[in-house]
Structure 1
């Protein structure tokens, strides 16, 4: 096992990154573990894959799935699994006492192995590739009860491309027994709020589990989502644009900042005038910010 850890000097909040897959596998305030444990190393006795075998994913350059598990760029088609290519890449990790930096480097036409997911479902491509190059840097830092995350994507190509970006943290939904989990009661909910905090909508997580049987709940133009149980809460804020909610099982739920998501069944076109409104021109970099507040 190879993990990187940062801890706030003024509180007990710690964050841990799995150096192998780049996933945020732990956010712990000394009393509670907030992250689902699916992304830990296979040899780690704390690993728990019930519901989802990950703790966190970076979704890029697509969010959700493209029709027939391929994407289009210009006249050509390229194999692409759900949520994109970064989830299958190995990261480069740097860390010190105050921050952890996770970096992904992709160069055009490099084949990325996806055989593990292909073995689970032959519909998933065995390899993935893209016709353009990019660098992605994710920086984590803790500040009292906040985890700050910045994601910077830079186009290293001489061509422009469209993209969607998302972060897919999975949180523990148990409140009493972390080993057994606990079915969500009426006091467990997600509150969606706009930038103006107007017209807030409350969604019981039991209902979210029912919605998640056929897909995720996408909240357009939302900057934050809040999980509330009694006097405890987890708040996710971001400037990505939308929030996606998903709960595959009673022991976990996801509050996922995304830049956007194509309609189900869309053949995603990453050409500059294609499916997504977000475009990176040659040499251009864009930065996004996410905070997770566990007060």
Structure 2
């Protein structure tokens, strides 16, 4: 009799576990574990402040900032950050901001801070990776592009395309350099911020690359969306030939923006905010994986003159992405 009851209890537990796994795997965690947000008011969601850990090796009031979005603090990440200190000719005057999805162990942050010569700042932006456009249903919508979770990679795209320019914590910065956590400065760099000011540039671009329709179905839908937007809003692109060249038969050009430097004021202009919101409202990022790289390329083709865009290869700045 005792064995029968134990068997019954085990069966009940197995059924409960099976139901749990069904919701977790089949129905997706956004419907079971996490409540999605739909508000666009970041000031009510990102309530944490930028912070430092321990005593800083330097102190800077620079209007420039180097930004990385990092999943965790690792020894490899620290080695890449040390290369910035070694190779970037700014006398450690530019602060480094690490954007985190959670609050890591304090001793990891302290160890990192001790190894880096420039001032290191931290900000938790994890809530943004559960923030969806109004009217979008993350529970019932399927994704064809899954990396580190159902929506994580696409949320990253949306962050760099839209949310970066809305963060109230960054409102006082003029120029922001983005580096991905798997990027390296592998040789001597001039102070690219100074060069942008000297040239009155709004963007420092990386190599030109392409996204391919065959690999990312729906990529070419962006051509019709772009030209309809220009027509509806009576916009003449600043670089019409660059815009025409952006779209091939089955490809869209992009700036390989695991490195880029952005003039923040440019992206806060009314007409560019309208463009960003319009693209975001199509949900093309979530349905077709429209990347921030191709969206960045189109943004500058439409709104920036050629002389306002600098190109890393023209300056022979040594750099690599996903290299050992």
TM category (shorter chain) comes to: under 0.3
Looking at both structures, which has the greater relative contact order when contacts are Cα pairs under 8 Å and sequence separation is at least 6?
2
- TM-score scaled by structure 1? 0.27
The structure whose Rg is larger is 2
* Structure with greater strand share of residues: 1
* Structure with greater helix share of residues: 2
